[in-house]
Amino acid sequence: MTQWFGYIGRILYVDLSREKTEVRELREEDVDMFIGGIGLATKILAEEIDPRVDPFSPDNVLVFMTGPLTGTLVPCSGRYVVAAKSPLTLAWGEAHASGYWGVELKRAGFDGIVIRGRAGNPVYLWIHDGEVEIRDASKLWGRDIIETDIELKKELGKDVRVAAIGPAGERLVRYAIIANDITPDGPRVAGRTGMGAVMGSKNLKAIAVRGKGQIRVKDPRRSRSIITRILPLVLSYPTSQIYAVHGTPGEIEEFYEYGDMPIKNFTEGEWEGIKNITAKRFWERGIVKGHRACWACPIHCWKYAETKDAKGRAPEYETIAALGSLLMIDDPFYIEKANDLCNRYGIDTISTGVTIAWAIESFEKGLLTKEDTGGLELRWGDPDLVLKLIEMIGRREGFGKLLGEGCRLASRIIGRGSERYCMHVKGLEMPMHDPRAFKGMGLQYATSNRGACHLQGLVFRIEQGQRVYDLRIYERPDRFDVKGKGRIVATMQIWHEVVESMVICKFIDIPPAHLAGLYSIVTGRRKNLQQLLTAGKRIFTLKRIFNVANGIRRKDDTLPERFLKEPLKEGGAKGQVVELEPMLKEYYEFMGWDENGIPKKEVLKELGIYDLAKKMFPEIG
């Protein structure tokens, strides 16, 4: 039997339809090829499902996975990943969260959980010290996320860690989230691509975990030595220092100056209201009360907020932009309330804001009417309207039924040309970074496997001047230039597959060579940086094949027309559009894809995934 370090060596398989559980040993060959985290989740989904499966079918599989560094003393190693076919994009879906739940899952005896089927009635999983129970959750069904956490802690003990869905997940809102570490200071969320809706489709309300097990490290002394040496470096980065004081909202003013922060559904470059929703303003108004941290985190970017209407996690940059500047609302008390409502119902704040922005602009243009909205007058800058819409989405009531589909599907239902005002890529609503301000980010959005995603590559950091010498990114490319961006974007996407397979937080930004060393020292499995990058490309390419099997081609590797043809008239990105085609050509050549965006057979064979690819997409030849 393999002696595992870093890994637990066991994966829990749950069939909710049959009410059966099974424990399978982790396979060495899978670890060698896919590392862990999102890599292992990708391999499992490639084996377990037909990519064309209905996302709400019992045959869709939901995978929770930790990584080999999760729960060790490696900084910011408290994360886990969730993956399944997405009900929002109808293609590859994944989300990521931090906190302590992933660490507790490993301590409870498992690297991950693979869930298929659908329970006949609402259930939750109770996983503790290697034991698994499928328990009745009827009394939890309909409860919001915070209430669910409180009730489970009353039943199981205050030290239990819970990952749960809210009413939105139960009602299959296509961008429902999974939240963990919910009370008293949370939650942390796996927010994108509707993984909460997949969980809801299985009648699975929550997964509670508790364990006393140990996560063994091959060479604890050397790992501590390396961590001690790199901490001063990673904490010296300006971004780390900003996050330590203000969290992600600390970058609002900088992003605004770049022309990166979206205003009025990405149509304007300047806005007087920005001064009212900066991180400093949230502190001054007494909304943010203090700092919190995830497992092994020296940064403490997680901020705690409390007002008369809400308490818990303070809004992040993405939330402040999506529910604030995107909708022309500059009231920080409203933003905290809206943030709390989204968390309680269990919906992604980014998709919520972008979908509401689509509706308001479509209404403004006469493409949506009061007959469509149930009598609601949709307008910019109306906090009461947005709070009402969030509740309607969370309950899937009235006009909220349509908005709960996400803006792509909703705009297709309405038609009338409203599709033009839906800011998405491959069905995933745009994050709060305007690609006209960072053109490499535009290419990253266009090619990301889960749709518009700023995190899987973080290319705007390179365009701000960060150099990653370990990855041979020596240049400091102009953010408005397109030359060389194909190689840079592809390289960063591949590297981030490695980071998300370890699994650690990207805010700590450990240099790649150091992370490769830490992996080898923690696990005892020697991997150099090039071997890890090959694994990253293998994972990214296998996801692409999953998408290809769902009909995604070059035509889908694009951006909304607004970013390709409509320059902003003011602000830091004034006059810019994204020249996508030259970047895409270079990107395809670097990745080894053909002119239709399909990975070439020789690349699949070189990466050792040809058989898996052919299983998912027999037409590969």
Q: What is the pLDDT of residues 53-97, one digit of tens each?
A: 999 999 999 999 999 999 999 999 999 999 999 999 999 999 999
For residue 389, what are the CA distances in angstroms to 328, 383, 422?
A: 15, 10, 17
Handedness of CA 196, 212, 27, 220 (dihedral sign): positive
Q: Could you list the beta-strand ranges (E) of 251-346.
A: 288-292, 302-306, 311-313
Residue 478, Cα to own-chain centre: how many angstroms? 27
What pLDDT does residue 621 have?
A: 74
For residue 246, what are the CA distances in angstroms to 57, 279, 504?
A: 42, 6, 21
DSSP class of residue 27 equals P
For residue 99, what are the CA distances in angstroms to 155, 179, 186, 212, 356?
A: 22, 10, 9, 17, 29
Rounded to an integer, what distance in angstroms lies between the CA atom of residue 21 and that of residue 64? 15
Amino acid at 528: N
Q: Which two tokens stand for residue 43?
A: 């391999």
Q: Is the pLDDT of residue 474 over 90?
A: no
Q: Is the pLDDT of residue 1 over 80?
A: no
Q: How far apart are the first and last CA of the chain?
A: 38
Report whether the peptide linkage leading into residue 332 is cis, meaning its omega lies within 30 degrees of zero: no
Q: Which domains are seen in the chain, by residue range?
A: 10-210 (3.60.9.10), 238-422 (1.10.569.10), 439-508+528-620 (1.10.599.10)
Q: Are 205 and 123 in contact (CB under 8 A)?
A: yes
What pLDDT does residue 484 have?
A: 95
Instruction: Give kind and range of the element (H or E) at residue 107.
Output: helix 101-107
295, with CB counted inside 10 A (0-12, 13-18, 19+), is: buried
What pLDDT does residue 475 have?
A: 83
The residues pairing with 315 across neighbouring beta strands, listed in sequence order, are: none
What pLDDT does residue 546 have?
A: 98
Residue partners of 619: CB distance under 8 A and separation at least 6: none
Chain mean pLDDT for the chain: 97
Amino acid at 159: D
Q: Are 545 and 599 in contact (CB under 8 A)?
A: yes
What pLDDT does residue 395 have?
A: 98
- How much of the chain, in percent, has pLDDT values that exceed 90? 97
Nearest to 182 by CA among 208, 219, 149, 151: 149
pLDDT tens digits for range 358-370: 999 999 999 999 9
Largest Cα–Cα separation, the chain = 67
Neighbours of 135 (CB within 10 A): 16
Averaged pLDDT, 484-502: 98
The SS3 assignment for 129 reads coil
What pLDDT does residue 128 have?
A: 97
Q: Worst-scoring range by mean pLDDT, 95-104, 198-207, 222-231? A: 222-231
Q: Are 97 and 293 in contact (CB under 8 A)?
A: no
Task: Please name the residue that has the structure tokens 């940059």.
Answer: 317
pLDDT tens digits for range 247-292: 999 999 999 999 999 999 999 999 999 999 999 999 999 999 999 9
* Mutual angle of helices 485-502 and 512-523, in 10-degree steps: 20
Residue 2 confidence class, pLDDT cut points 50, 70, 90: confident
Reported as half-sphere exposure (CB side, CA atoms, 13 A), residue 343 has a value of: 28
Task: Please name the residue that has the structure tokens 């071997």.
Answer: 531
